[in-house]
Amino acid sequence: MKKVAVLGFVAALAAGCSSTPVTPGTAKAVSASRVYDASYFNRSAERSATIKVTRDKGFAGGGCSFDILIDDQKVVALKPSESASMHVVPGSYFLKLEAGGGLCQNVSTFQNVTIAAGDELVYRILWPAGGRPTMERK
C-alpha cells in the first residue's frame, strides 16, 4: 500500500512540474520593464511579418524569465502565461530562447526561421515533465 501511495505522489509531483498551454486570448501582455527592444513591437509597412511567442503557465520554471532573442539581440523576457508579438522585416532569422539565473538551469535552444510578408509564425514555450524548456512551432 505504501508503494502505491509513493508512486501516486511521484506521478502527481512529475505532472505538477510540467507546464500547460495558455488558451488563446488569456495570455497576458509582457510588462514594458522586460521589453529590451521596443522597435520589434511596432508594426509598420516594412515590418509586415510577425513572430508570436507564448509561454505556458505552470509551476515549472515559474521562478525565472525566459529571454527571446532575434539574431542574438535580446528582445523580450517572458514570464509564465505571457505572450509577445514581434514584428520583423520579411526574411530569415535566428530565433533563440535562453533561460538561466535565479532558480532556473542554464538552457538555450534556437531555430532558424524564414518568414514572408504578412505571415505570422506562432511558437509555444513549454517545459515538459522531466525535460528541459523548449520552444515549438504551432
pLDDT for the residue numbered 106: 83
> Which of the pair, 126 or 18, is modelled with greater confidence?
126
List 121's β-bridge partners, or say none: 51
pLDDT for the residue numbered 10: 37
> Which of the pair, 5 or 132, is modelled with greater confidence?
132
**Domain around 59:** 2-137
Domain count, the chain: 1
Q: What is the CATH number of the domain that holds 43?
A: 2.60.40.1120
Whether the predicted pLDDT of 59 surpasses 80: no
Q: What single letter denotes the amino acid at residue 43?
A: R
> Which of the pair, 61 or 69, is modelled with greater confidence?
69
Q: Please, is 25 exposed, middle or buried when counting C-beta atoms within 10 Å of its C-beta (0-12, 13-18, 19+)?
A: exposed
Q: Angle 125-127-128 (CA atoms, 0-180°, nearest 5)? A: 130
Whether the predicted pLDDT of 6 surpasses 60: no
Residues 110 and 134: their CA atoms lie apart, in Å, by: 9
Whether the predicted pLDDT of 121 surpasses 80: yes
Q: Are 109 and 134 in contact (CB under 8 A)?
A: yes
Q: Which of 97, 105, 11, 101 is nearest to 60 (CA)?
A: 105
Average pLDDT over residues 42-47: 96
pLDDT for the residue numbered 32: 93
